[in-house]
Amino acid sequence: MSTDVDLFGKPMEEEKPVIEIDEPINLRPDLSTYGIIEVERGVCEDTFENRKLLRNGKMGWDTVYSSNGVPTGLIMARSMEMAKERRMLSLSEKKPIMVDPESINSDYLTGLDLLAESATDYLVPPWVIGATRMWVKEQDEPVASAKRQPTALPSRCRTIKDDNIRCMLWSSGRPKDDGLCRVHLRSVKKRPGEDIERARAKLTQAAPYAVDMLEDMMENAVSEPVKLKAATEILDRAGVRGGVEFDANIKVTDDRPAAIIIQERLDRLAASAGQRALDLLDAGVVENDTSDIQDAEEVKEEESS
Closest CA to 38 of 27, 50, 48: 50
pLDDT at position 289 over 90: no
Q: By percentage, how much of the chain surpasses pLDDT 90?
A: 11
Read off the pLDDT of each residue in 209-229 and give the average, rounded to a whole number: 82
Strands, E assignment, 79-229 = 155-156, 170-171
pLDDT at 291: 53
pTM confidence score: 0.45
113 pLDDT tier (thresholds 50, 70, 90): very high
Backbone φ/ψ region at 101: left (φ over 0), alpha (ψ -120 to 50), beta: alpha
Read off the pLDDT of each residue in 239-250 and give the average, rounded to a whole number: 64
The residue ranges of every structural domain in the chain are 19-78, 85-188, 206-237
pLDDT at position 233 over 70: yes
Question: 41-89 pLDDT, tens per residue?
Answer: 889 998 888 888 888 888 888 888 877 777 888 888 887 777 777 788 8
How many angstroms separate the CA atoms of 247 and 14, rounded? Answer: 67
